[in-house]
Structure 1
């Protein structure tokens, strides 16, 4: 984002990070957010929300560190963990609830992976407990792709439109998205 923190960009006056956390809270599930330890602005954006935050002291080692530390904080108290990048503005509580409900309906034993309306895989993804050890061993900047790829028990859940893929990584993408979705 050329020096800007995309998670602090605002949509309707609310930082994207806070908006995403509020939407997750709307599911009624416990919410844990992994934050780089040296980013007080992100922590401030979440102030006052009933969430758990996990400080990532080795965030420079890649996206996997957020997953490893987040799963580490939740693994002993969770029957499933939904992992979602915070920069996906179209994911709402209905999308997350669709995944959670499907996960529960299948007994909490399958990975639930969101797709676009046309079936292209994306985010979020829910992992059952038998994946927690593999998630705790991730490294680098590839996220949990290897865990999903090696699993035999992946179920796809179609979300509306392009919700499962839309992320905002450049100022131009932000401006374009805001011009089309200014009321979201």
Structure 2
């Protein structure tokens, strides 16, 4: 790949309380959800892929065995997704100077493909805007790409609101890509059953 480079940060540190079991490790298309997500991230060929782990660190690593990813363990995973974003940004900045952008994605959006990630990247490069994000359910969300100029703001995030605060702050400066399937995520056993039915 030539030109600007990105780091993809795959957030996979959650404890899956509502699911009752680690949703990152649920079977999907012959893989686990997290391996599916990591495989799409690698295939997009945008740059380094960093997987942020937490409670299920050993199992996540086992599930991703053989894939070209690096890991960043978040000891504060119970504090919410913001702590995982901070962990991922710090990992992306090591070694300095870091990438031109970070693309945040989660493990439980099975409709995310390498093609979508590439489109977000290309939209960002062509738009000149600080953020390129997917949009579904009438709001911007992950996957979302943030320019290096926003890294310090991402590092200040706290709690369980993720990057939505930054997306809202810069809503007039977003480059948006329609991703109607983005709302298909896995938070409960019923969500998983609906996913399996949709993919049959």
1:158 aligns with 178
Q: Does the alignment pair 1:123 with 2:142?
A: yes
Deviation sequence 1:74-97 (CA, Å, 0-9, x none): 133211111111110011111111
What runs of 5+ residues in structure 2 fail to find an aligned partner? Answer: 1-17
Q: Does 1:65 align with 2:83?
A: yes
CA distance in 2, matches of 1:157, 1:119: 12
In 1, Cα distance between equivalents of 2:160 and 2:84: 10
Question: Structure 2 length normalisation: TM-score?
Answer: 0.83
> Where in structure 1 are there 5+ consecutive unaligned residues?
none
Which whole-Å CA distance do the structure 1 matches of 2:57 and 2:139 have between them? 33
Per the alignment, residue 151 of structure 2 pairs with 132
Q: 1:124 to 1:53 in 2, by over 3 A?
A: same
Alpha-carbon deviation of 1:123? 1.8
Aligned-residue CA RMSD in angstroms?
1.6
Q: Which has the higher strand share?
A: 2
Indicate whether 1:149 and 2:165 are aligned.
Answer: no
Counterpart position of 1:11: 28
How many residue pairs match? The answer is 178
